[in-house]
Amino acid sequence: MTELVLALGIYLAVVAAVSVYSRLYARTRDPVDYFIASRGLSGLTSAMTYAATTYSAFMMVGLVGLSYATGVGALAFELAYLVSTIAILATFGTRVWELSRERGYVTPTQLLRDRLGSRWATAVAVALTAVALIPYSAVQMVGPASIIAGIGGSSVDYRVAVTIAFAITLVTTLAAGVRSVAWSDAVQGVIMLSSAAAFVAWLTARTPPGALARLADAELLSPLNRFWTPYTFFAYTTPWIFFAITNPQVFQRLYLPRSRRDYVRMVVYFSVFGLVYTVIAVSVGLLARGLVELGALDLGVDLRDRAAWNRVTPSLLRYTHPALAVAVAVSILAAATSTINSIVLTVASMVSYDTVVPERYRLAVGKAVVVLFSVVIYLFALSTPAFVVDLAVASSTLLLPLLPLYIFSVYGLASRYAYVSTLAVGSPLALGLTYVKGLHLPLPKEVLVATVSVATYVVVALLDRATVGRRSQ
Amino acid sequence: MLRALLLVCAALSLALPGVLAGDRSMTSFAAYVALTVVTLALAYAHLRRWAVVD
């Protein structure tokens, strides 16, 4: 399929050119410039990299399938994420931005180290983050590569598609660090939004008026239905509500805007991007379901099989014009790589700054870790061993124990004992609840992990404070 | 004050699907969307005030 090869070639060339061009603005020997662009990005660039990092291949694959199968409740789930993120950015985020300037933070975990004074305790958080996010990144590569390989008459094999994602990750991170990541994210964000808009326009043009009534008959237009019970809603939303705090690749983006005004612009532009992209993804799923209910399409998706929900978008692409199918497939690849490159760079910065690396080797070690993690992700994506898939599914729950550490470190209740206790209790609990099947819990496991982690932190920190107060009297 | 109001509205909008359990009417969904819009408006107002210090 010539269009696909041509589109992938153009995509690779444009992203590489933008990344290399961004080097002109970079101080290439300065690790602060490499990891956070010397805190000097504009509001628009910060917003685009925040959006492209946050919104992964899940949007046009997972969310489309979820909307198709479960209805408009999927919109409420994704809106919950957007609202909580904007609330966090408007309150917690502004304090983090101020602290990063006052104290010179480059990484999220540096904030923890500064407040707790323990390099080793912070290294545990770095390790936990890497264990959660590296498998997640590998699985991110799998979806788009499978879609590209599955496009009718595709001349691009799965391995070639994964290799393209790997090449983009390396080029965008190594060219000029976060500058090239942010600039290429901006380009990829435009690709994501414009292709998604064309996709929903094509579907809308095909949908007859009766589709809406069919959706209502199938209980897909009420936010709470047989699928979206309050239990399921909170199980889905809890990790996402706190995503802006627990995921270091987005946390670190709070350091990037060059002024308060640019910070505000970042939040405003990001929320517009998020709202539009969310509505488009949910609409694609709902319109597709409407067409299937009317008998106008046959996607062959068995609703009883959860894994099959992810096949809604690839099945829809069989019906579109080849050029549109190629554009959507490339946009999903762009969504995945713009998330992966940010994760790789952030985890590399954390290894470089928050473990035992001497100051003068930070940049060299950071770049070496970028290459190492990219290769590991590439190899995982090629073989997708079962443990990687399991860890990727558990990643959002695994990061929840970090929630109280960041919140209370920012708001002045820092305690080394509370930190260690929370990780010692929260992380095994998250892993255990993920792997032990068949448990009938009174609360979703995500809510349980978040509540236990916050309670552990608060109790131990208050005890620690009381003990210190008694000793000093 | 504005920050407290923002946090209350955000918490309410996140909890609303649980509060409205069993209510499948479009009115409750409209209430949810309205609360979401109010929360976003409060967040922007709070941010604008914060940015004035620049």
| pLDDT score for A7 | 92
pLDDT at position B34 is 87
Summary count for chain A: helices (H), strands (E): 22, 0
> What are the residues whose beta carbons fall under 8 Å from the beta carbon of A467, sequence distance 6 or more?
none
Place of tokens 């046959």: A298
Question: What range defines the domain where residue B39 resides?
Answer: 2-51
Chain B residues in contact with A264 (beta carbon < 8 A): 47-48, 50-51
Chain B residues whose CB is inside 8 A of the A271 CB are: 40
B37 touching A (Cβ < 8 Å): no
Is B28's Cβ below 8 Å from some Cβ in A?
A: yes
Please list the alpha-helical segments (H only) found in A151-207.
158-176, 178-206
In A21-83, beta strands by DSSP E: none
Work out the minimum CA distance from A217 to partner chain B, whole angstroms. Answer: 13
- Number of helices (H) and strands (E), helices first, in chain B? 2, 0
A12: exposed, middle or buried (C-beta count within 10 Å: 0-12, 13-18, 19+)? middle
Per-residue confidence band for B54, with pLDDT thresholds at 50, 70 and 90: low
**A389, A387, A403, A393: which is closest to A434 by C-alpha?**
A393
Q: Contacts of residue B13 in chain A, CB cutoff 8 Å?
A: 80, 83
Q: What is the pLDDT of residue A73?
A: 85
Closest-CA distance of chain A to residue B14, Å = 6
Residue burial A236-253, b: 16+ Cβ < 10 Å; e: rest: bbbbbbbbbbbbbbbbbb
Is the CB of residue A350 less than 8 Å from the CB of residue A107? yes
Nearest partner of A331 among A240, A430, A198, judged by Cα: A198
Look at residue A257 and give its three-state secondary structure. strand
Selected for mutation to probe chain A from B35, B40, B42, B48 (highest A CB count within 10 Å) is B40
* Nearest chain B Cα distance for residue A276, angstroms: 14
Q: Can you spell out the DSSP letters for A408-466?
A: HHHTT---HHHHHHHHHHHHHHHHHHHHS-S---SS-HHHHHHHHHHHHHHHHHHHHHH
The predicted model scores a pTM of 0.94
**CB-based contacts of A280, cutoff 8 Å, min separation 6:** A193, A196, A197, A199, A200
Output the pLDDT for position A154.
63
A264/B47 Cβ within 8 A: yes
Q: Phi and psi of B50, rounded to 5°?
A: -65, -35
- Enumerate chain A positions whose Cβ falls within 8 A of a Cβ in B: 72-73, 76, 79-80, 83-84, 86-87, 89-91, 94, 219, 221-225, 228-230, 233-234, 237, 241, 259-261, 263-264, 267-268, 271
Cβ of A224 within 8 Å of Cβ of B23? The answer is yes
Q: Which two tokens stand for residue A394?
A: 């558990």
B28 to chain A, minimum CA–CA distance in Å?
A: 9
Tell me the C-alpha distance between A349 and A413, whole Å.
25
User: What pLDDT score does A99 carry?
Assistant: 96
CB A297 within 8 A of CB A214: no
Q: Given an 8 Å threshold on Cβ–Cβ distance, is B18 in contact with A219?
A: no
In terms of Cβ atoms closer than 10 Å to its own Cβ (0-12, 13-18, 19+), residue B22 is exposed
Walking along chain A (473 residues) 10 residues at a time, the average pLDDT comes out as 87 96 91 96 97 94 94 88 95 96 95 84 88 88 87 78 93 95 96 97 91 82 78 86 95 97 97 96 95 90 88 92 93 95 96 90 96 94 80 84 93 88 92 81 90 96 85 65
Mutate to test the interface with B, among A224, A225, A279, A286 (most CBs of B within 10 A): A224
Alpha-carbon gap, residue A275 to A365, rounded angstroms: 38
Whole-number pLDDT of residue B25: 66
A2-388 CATH, one of 1.10.3210.10, 3.30.1950.10, 1.20.1730.10, 3.50.50.60: 1.20.1730.10
How does DSSP classify residue A385? -
Instruction: Give how many domains chain B has, as a whole number.
Output: 1
Q: What pLDDT is attached to residue A152?
A: 62
Count of pairs with CB atoms under 8 A, one residue in A, one in B: 89
Q: What is the pLDDT of residue A335?
A: 95
Q: Tell me, what's the pLDDT at A384?
A: 77
Measure CB to CB from residue B43 to each of A86, A219, A228 and give the nearest one. Answer: A86
- Note the residue count of chain A: 473
- Minimal CA–CA distance to B32: which of A76, A85, A420? A76
